[in-house]
Amino acid sequence: MGTSLRHDDGSLASLPPADGIVATTMLRRAPRLPYALARHPLVHLAAALVALASLLPLGFVVATTWEVGWETVRELVFRPRVGELLVNTVLLEATSVPIAIVVAVALAWLTERTDLPFARLWSWLAVAPLAVPAFVHSYAWISLAPGMRGLWSATFVSVIAYFPFLYLPVAATLRRLDPAIEDAAASLGLGPWRVFFRAILPQLRIAICGGSLLIGLHLLSEYGLYVMIRFDTFATAIVDQFQSAYNSPAANMLGGVLIACCLLLIGLEALLRGGERYARVGAGSARPAARRALGQWRLPALILPVVMAALTLGVPLWTLARWIVLGGTAIWPAEVLVTLLQTMALALAGGALATLAAAPMAWLSVRVPGRIQRVLEACHYYVGSLPGVVVALALVSLTVQYFLPLYQTYATLLVAYVLLFLPRAMVGLHASIAQAPVELERAAQALGRTPAQAVRQVTLRLAAPGVAASLALVALGITNELTATLMLAPNGVETLSTRFWSLTSEIDYVAAAPYAVMMVALSLPLTLLLHAQSTRVAGQ
Amino acid sequence: MTLLTIDGLGKSYGQVTALDDVSLRVEAGRRTAVVGPSGSGKTTLLRLIAGFEAPDRGRIEFDGVLMADGPAHVPAHRRGIGIVAQDGALFPHLSVAENIGFGIPRGTPDRERQIAELLDMVELDRPMLERRPHQLSGGQQQRVALARALGRKPRLILLDEPFSALDTGLRENMRKAVARVLQAAGITTILVTHDQTEALSFADQVAVLRGGRLVQAGTPRALYLQPRDRETALFLGDAVLLPALARDGHADCALGSVPIRPDRQGRVELMLRPEQIRLVHEETDGAGIGRVIDVEFGGAVCTVTVALEGTSLPLLTIKTSSLAPPGPGDRVRLDIDGSAHVLDAAEAA
C-alpha cells in the first residue's frame, strides 16, 4: 500500500475515546439482541452486506487455497522465495518498529514533558511527515543518495515515514498522564530515571502497542517505498507476479501468506496490549503536569528534534524544491491539471461511497451496541488493515472469473477504495453520531416532529461535521493510494500517485515533482487537523 | 520533639504569590491540619514539604535535617516523606499488591508478608491484593494509597485532601479509619483540606492559610473559640458578630453586658458562636430582646432568624434545639453562655 496516511484513523482509534462518547455508549449497553434486530431490520441488513463485502479478500484467499488443493499450496508456499520474503519482512519489522518506538517515545517525552525550547513547534513538526506519502519519502532519499539499497535503507526510510504513527498516541498519552502518579513514585523513593521506567513507561504500553501495530501493518502493505530502494517484500513480490500474469496462483498464495502476517500482527498486538485499563483512576480533575527542567541538557536535547525534522521534512522538501526549480515551467503541462481533477473526482466519489457504506454500522454501534453488532463492526475494521495489494488481487480475480465486464472499471476501483478506507469513514461517523444522543431525537419528537423530521433536523445536523471529516479522510487516502489504483484503474485513468509513480519508474524525477508537491499540499491540512484533534482528545 | 520546622517559606508562580512567609512547627506524633479556601496556597505548602517543588525563600527542616533552604532542596525521593494524594494516585498498570510493594525494594526479606500486613493495617481483605486499581471503590483506593505510603515506614505522612472525593458518609468513616491507623503506627501527619469540620475533628493542631499567608495556628478548640479575625471566625463556622464597648472584663453590646477577657478596652468587635446563644420566651422590653422573623426546621436543629429590637443590627441566625422552638412573631430574650471573644482590633469594623 502506497499511502502514508492510510491508518491515521487507527492511530486515533488507539487512543481512548473522549469521556462523553464512552459514557453514551455505556448507557445504552446491551439491549436485547433479537429486539434490536427486529426494530431496525433494514439497517442491520445494510451493515451485514457491507460486512460481507469486507470479508471478500479473506474469503477469496481461503477459496483459492481450497480450489488449488494442498499439493499446489505446498509447492507455492514452501519454497525458498517465500522464505526469503518472510526473512526480509521479519527483519524489516524487527528493526523498524523498535527504532521507531525509541525515537517516538524520546521525542514525545521531550516535547510534552520537558522545558525543551519551542516544544510546540517540534510537536507539530513531528506529525507533519505524515503529509508526505511514504513513496515520496523514498523518492526524496533516492534522489539524494542514489545508492540506497537493502534492509538498512528500508529500515531508515520506514522509520522516517512512519514514526509519527507512534509519536501521536504516545504524546497524547503523556500529555494526559496524571502527574500525581509521578509524585507518588518520587515520594516512594524513586529517582527521576526510575520514575520514568517504572511509573511512566508502563502506562504508555497501550499507545506503544497501538502505534507499533499501525506501523507494522504499513510495513507489510507498503509497495512504492520498497520498490524504489530495491528491497523485496510480499507486497512488491505480489505486484511483480501480478504484472507478469494476473490471476496467477503464485500471486494469490503470496497474498494468503501476507494476510496471515497481518492477522499475526493483530493477534500479537492484542496479546501484548492485554485487557487492562490504564486510564486515570479516581475522581477529581488532574493537575496539569509540570514540565521537567532539562537544565544543562536543554540545548543538547534539541539535537533529536532538529535532526528528525531535517530527516523527515527537510530532505523531502529540499529535494522537491530542487526538482521544481530545475524543471521550471516545463514540468507543469496541462496534463497535471487533468490528473488533479481526475484524482479529486475519484477521491470525492470514493469518499462519499465509503461514508455511505459505513453509515449503517456506525449508527448501529452507537445506538444499539450488542454482540452481533460488535462482530459486524469488527469486519468493518479488519478490512482496513489489509494491504491494498491483497484487496486489489481479490477484486481482480473475482471480476475476471465471474464479472468480466466489471474488470478494470470505475466500479471495481471504487469498491476497492470503499473496502480499504472503511475504518476511516467509521471513525468520523461514529464520533459524531455519538454526539447526537437518542434523547435529542426524542425531545424533537416530543416537540411535534415526526421521526423522520427528528432524524433530519437533529441527528443529521449534529452528525454533519463527522460526515465531512469521514469524507475528507477517505478522499485523502484515495489521493495518496498507489497499489490498488495501479492494479485496478481503468486504462488511461491516472491519479496523482499513479502518475507520479510511472514518471519515477521512468527515472524522470523532475517531471514527477509537481505530483508529489500536490499530494503533500493536499495532505498537509488534514495532517495538521489530526495533530489538533489528538491534542483535543487529551483535553487541551 | 519538633519533627518538622518550616521557617519563612515563600513561593511564587510568575506574578502570583502562592505562599508568603509561612512558618509552622509540627511536633512528632501529632496530627496537623492545614485548612484554607481553595487558592490559599495549602497544596503548594504540601508540595514544598514533600519535595516536589523547591521554595523561593525560607527553610524546611525535617527530623533535624535541612531539606530546603531557598531554591536549594533535597528532591522528593530522598526525603522519606509519604503522601496520599486526593484520588490515591495508584499506578493503574499495577495490581494492589504491586502498588503497595512499590516502595519496598525487591528482594527485601518478608516482602510478601509486609505487603499483606500493610493491607491488614488499612483494614482491607487479602483477596483484594490481586485486584487492579480500577476495580476498587474510591474509599478502597484511598486505603491502598495509604498502605503504599506506609510501606516505606515514613516518619511523616502528608494527606492531600484524601477524603474530598468520597461520599459524605464514607468520608467520615475514612477519616476515622485513617486517624486510627496513623495513631497506631505513631506517624506524624499533615492533612491538607478545605473542609473546616474535617480539619477541626481530625487534628491536634490546625493551621489556617489565607491568600498564601498563615493566619493562625493552634488547637482546634482555640481556633474555633478564639479566632484572630473576622474571616477566620466565619471560615471555621457560623458566628454572630456584634460591635461593643469594652471595659474592665465586660463588653456592652446589643445583647446586654457580656463577659470578655479583661485586657481590652474601648470599641471592639465581639464574636459569639451561635450555640452560645439560648433563646428564652420573654414578653418584656429591654436589652437583648428580639422578635423571631423566621423558623426553619432542620431535623435535630432549627435555624431561627431574629431581629434585635431597638437596633439597626443585621438579622441574627441562631441554631436551637428543635424540641420547643419559638414561632415566628414571638418575642425572645437572647441569653449568652460563657464569655464572648474579642476579635483583633485591626480587623474590627
Cα dist from A191 to A179, A180, A200, whole Å = 15, 15, 13
Nearest by CB to residue A187, choosing from B76, B93, B133, is B76
The SS3 assignment for A508 reads coil
**What's the pLDDT at A278?**
56
Query: Considering only CA atoms, which of A365, A280, A285 is closest in space to residue A16?
Result: A280
The complex's ipTM works out to: 0.71
Q: Could you tell me which residues of chain A have a Cβ less than 8 Å from any Cβ in chain B?
A: 178, 180-181, 183-191, 195, 198-199, 202-203, 205, 276-284, 290
Nearest by CB to residue B92, choosing from A186, A190, A279, is A279
Question: Tell me: the pLDDT tens digits for B303-312?
Answer: 888 888 777 7
The SS3 assignment for B109 reads coil
Q: What's the whole-number mean pLDDT along residues B6-25?
A: 92
Contact B86 A284 (CB under 8 A): yes
Query: Considering only CA atoms, which of A350, A353, A356 is closest in space to residue A47?
Result: A356
Burial class from Cβ neighbours inside 10 Å (0-12, 13-18, 19+) for residue B64 reads exposed
**What's the pLDDT at A247?**
62
Backbone phi and psi for residue A441, each to the nearest 5 degrees, phi listed first: -60, -45
CA atoms of B271 and B242, how far apart (whole Å): 7
**What's the pLDDT at A540?**
39
Taking a C-beta distance cutoff of 8 angstroms, is the pair B43, B190 a contact? no
**What's the pLDDT at B25?**
94
Contact B102 A188 (CB under 8 A): yes
CA atoms of B29 and B187, how far apart (whole Å): 5
Backbone phi and psi for residue A117, each to the nearest 5 degrees, phi listed first: -60, 140
Pick the residue with more confidence: B321 or A350?
A350
**What's the pLDDT at A26?**
39
**What's the pLDDT at B336?**
86
The residue to which cell 431496525 is assigned: A40
Determine the residue of chain B that is closest to A274 in CA distance.
B93
Question: Tell me: the pLDDT tens digits for B138-181?
Answer: 888 888 999 999 988 899 999 988 888 777 778 888 888 888 88
- CB neighbour list of residue B348: distance below 8 Å, 6 or more residues apart: B230, B243, B267, B268, B269
Tell me the percentage of chain B whose pLDDT exceeds 70: 98
Chain A positions touching B91 (Cβ under 8 A) are 181, 184-185, 199, 202-203
Q: What is the pTM of this model?
A: 0.77
Question: Tell me: the pLDDT tens digits for A138-182?
Answer: 999 988 888 888 899 999 999 999 999 899 889 888 887 888 888
Smallest CA–CA distance, residue A183 to chain B, in Å, is 7
Backbone phi and psi for residue B331, each to the nearest 5 degrees, phi listed first: -100, 135
Contact B89 A188 (CB under 8 A): no
Where do the domains of chain B lie, and which CATH numbers do they carry?
2-230 (3.40.50.300), 238-347 (2.40.50.140)
Smallest CA–CA distance, residue B47 to chain A, in Å, is 9
Query: Considering only CA atoms, which of B295, B294, B289, B297 is closest in space to residue B331?
Result: B289
The parts of chain A modelled with pLDDT lower than 70 are: 1-39, 246-247, 274-289, 448, 534-540
**What's the pLDDT at A296?**
86
Nearest by CB to residue B77, choosing from A189, A278, A279, is A189
